[in-house]
Chain A
Amino acid sequence: MRRKPTGSFDIDLRTSFGENNRKELDVVVNFPITESIAAKVTHSAKRNGGDYINNITVDRRENEEDRSASAIALLATFGDNLTAHYIYDTEDDDSDTPALLNISTSRDQLCIQSGTSEETCGFAEEVPQTKSKVLTAQNFSNERHYEGDYQTLNLNFDFEGYEVSSTTGTRKTAELSNIDWDASHVDFYSATRQQTYIQFSQEVTQHKQHNEKLAYSFGFYYLDFDYTLFQEEFHVLRALHNAGLACCFSADDILRTNSTQSGDLQSIFIDGTYQINEQWIADAGLRFSKR
C-alpha cells in the first residue's frame, strides 16, 4: 500500500548510480490543490547497464535495460464522511539484451574454438551480421518493450453505521518481444510475441464494530480480464528451406499462435471476530467464489 498524498508541500528525492552504467532516480512531490484536495506526483526511473561477455567470441556488448514509472494521485476529503483516493499509474520498460551464448554452425564453432584467426578459417562461412568468420551474432537481439496503464479509485465512507470501502481498478498492459532462442546466425528457432492483458475489478466491503467484542465484515468482489497472444515462431524448417537443403518446406513454415482468453470472477465473503477475553479471539469467515 503506497503512501497517500500528505496535503503539504514536500519533495522526497533519492538517486543512486554506480558502475556498469547503473542509474536510479526516485522522486515524490506532494502539494495541496485546495483545502480538501491533496495531490502527489511520483516518478521512478531505473537504468541497468553492464556488459555481457560472450564465452565463445570473448566479445563484450553493452546491456540496456530502462524502466520508468510515473503516477499521479489525488486525495479528496468531503466533510467528515467521505474520502476519495484516485491514482493513475503508467510504466514503460525497455530491454535489449545481447546474446549470452553464440551457438554458431559446426564449421564456425570449430574455427572459433581452435583459437585461430580469420585467415586460417578458410572453411568457415562469413556471418552476415558481423561480416566475420569468427564473430557470430544473433539474428536479432532479445528486445522487449512493455507498457502499462493502471487506474485505482478508493472510496471510504460511513453508511448506516457501517464503514464502507470501495476499490475500483483497471489495468492495461502490452508487451512486444523478440526472442532468439538458438542465438545462432541461422534462423533455427526464434519468436516474436505480442501480448495484451486488460483487467477490471471492483470490490466493496462493509465493516461494523457491533459492540466491544463482536466485529464483522462482508462484501462482494468482481474481476474481469481479457488476454490476447499473437506469436510467430520461426523454426529450423524455414532455415532448411533457405539453405536449399529441404525440398518440402516453404518459406512460410512459421508457427503462428493466436490466442485469446477471457474470464471473470465473482465472490461474496463474510468474516467475523469475537473477543473472548484479553488473550483469545475467535475468527470465522466464509467466501464463495465463482469463475
Chain B
Amino acid sequence: MTVIKDEEIGVTYRHDLEDLKGLAPGLIVDSLSGTPQGAAISIRGVGTSDVNNGFFEPGVAFKVDGVYVGTHASQMQVLFDFEQVEVARGPQGALEGAPI
C-alpha cells in the first residue's frame, strides 16, 4: 500500500488524480476524453485504457471515502480537499470487500 498524504499533494501543485502519476510504483492514470471526469487507471500493467463509454466497469477498483465507484466517469477527482490517496498494489486484497 502506497499512501500519498495531503502534505505532498498540497506542497506540489497536484490538481487532479492524473497528477499523481509517478508517486506510486506502476501507477498510470490517464484522462478519458469524451467521458465526464473520466479516468483510465492501470496499476502494475492491469487496467483499462481504451474505453469509449465512461459507464463501463473499470478494470482497477476506485473508491472515494470507502465507496466503490463502479464507472470510469467521475473517477478523475479534484484533489483540493483530500486528506490522502491510498494506492493498493493488489491484486485482490483481503482487507476490503470491494473488487479491488
Measuring CB to CB, which residues of chain A are less than 8 angstroms from any residue of chain B?
1-4, 12, 14, 26, 28, 42, 44, 46, 67, 69, 85, 87, 91, 93, 95, 144, 146, 148, 150, 152, 154, 167, 169, 171, 173, 175, 195, 197, 199, 201, 203, 205, 217, 219-223, 225, 227, 229, 265, 267-271, 285-287, 289, 291
Flag if B67 contacts A268 (CB, 8 Å): no
What are the residues of chain B within 8 A of A146 when measuring CB–CB?
Answer: 36, 73
What is the number of contacts between chain A and chain B, taking CB atoms within 8 Å?
125
Flag if A26 contacts B65 (CB, 8 Å): no
Taken residue by residue from 34 to 78, chain B's Cβ proximity to chain A (1 for < 8 Å, 0 otherwise) reads as 101100000000000000011100000000111111110110001
Closest 3 interchain pairs by CB? A221-B97, A285-B94, A169-B67
Residue of B with least CB distance to A14: B80
Flag if B96 contacts A269 (CB, 8 Å): yes
Asked if B98 lies at the interface with its beta carbon under 8 angstroms from chain A, I say yes
What are the residues of chain B within 8 A of A199 when measuring CB–CB?
Answer: 68, 70
Flag if B73 contacts A3 (CB, 8 Å): no
Partner of B36, one of A95, A229, A271: A95
How far is it, in angstroms, between the C-alpha of A1 and the C-alpha of B80 when the chains are bound?
11
What are the residues of chain B within 8 A of A173 when measuring CB–CB?
Answer: 55, 71, 73-74
What are the residues of chain A within 8 A of B71 when measuring CB–CB?
Answer: 173, 197
Flag if B94 contacts A269 (CB, 8 Å): yes
What are the residues of chain A within 8 A of B8 when measuring CB–CB?
Answer: none
Flag if B67 contacts A1 (CB, 8 Å): no
How far is it, in angstroms, between the C-alpha of A1 and the C-alpha of B67 when the chains are bound?
10
How far is it, in angstroms, between the C-alpha of A287 and the C-alpha of B61 when the chains are bound?
16
What are the residues of chain B within 8 A of A223 when measuring CB–CB?
Answer: 68, 70, 98-99
User: Given A146-B36, A150-B67, A175-B36, A267 and B97 touching (CB < 8 A)?
Assistant: yes
User: Given A1-B84, A3-B82, A203 and B97 touching (CB < 8 A)?
Assistant: yes
The minimal Cβ–Cβ distance linking A203 to chain B, given in whole angstroms, is 5
Asked if B2 lies at the interface with its beta carbon under 8 angstroms from chain A, I say no
What are the residues of chain A within 8 A of B24 when measuring CB–CB?
Answer: none
Partner of B65, one of A1, A69, A217, A289: A1
How far is it, in angstroms, between the C-alpha of A195 and the C-alpha of B74 when the chains are bound?
14
How far is it, in angstroms, between the C-alpha of A69 and the C-alpha of B6 when the chains are bound?
20
The minimal Cβ–Cβ distance linking B61 to chain A, given in whole angstroms, is 11
Partner of A171, one of B67, B95, B98: B67
How far is it, in angstroms, between the C-alpha of A267 and the C-alpha of B84 when the chains are bound?
26
User: Given A93-B37, A199-B70, A87 and B65 touching (CB < 8 A)?
Assistant: yes
Max chain A Cβ within 10 angstroms of own Cβ: one of B53, B64, B81, B82:
B81
Flag if A2 contacts B98 (CB, 8 Å): no
What are the residues of chain B within 8 A of A289 when measuring CB–CB?
Answer: 97, 99
Flag if B66 contacts A217 (CB, 8 Å): no
The minimal Cβ–Cβ distance linking B89 to chain A, given in whole angstroms, is 13
Asked if B25 lies at the interface with its beta carbon under 8 angstroms from chain A, I say no
Flag if B67 contacts A152 (CB, 8 Å): yes
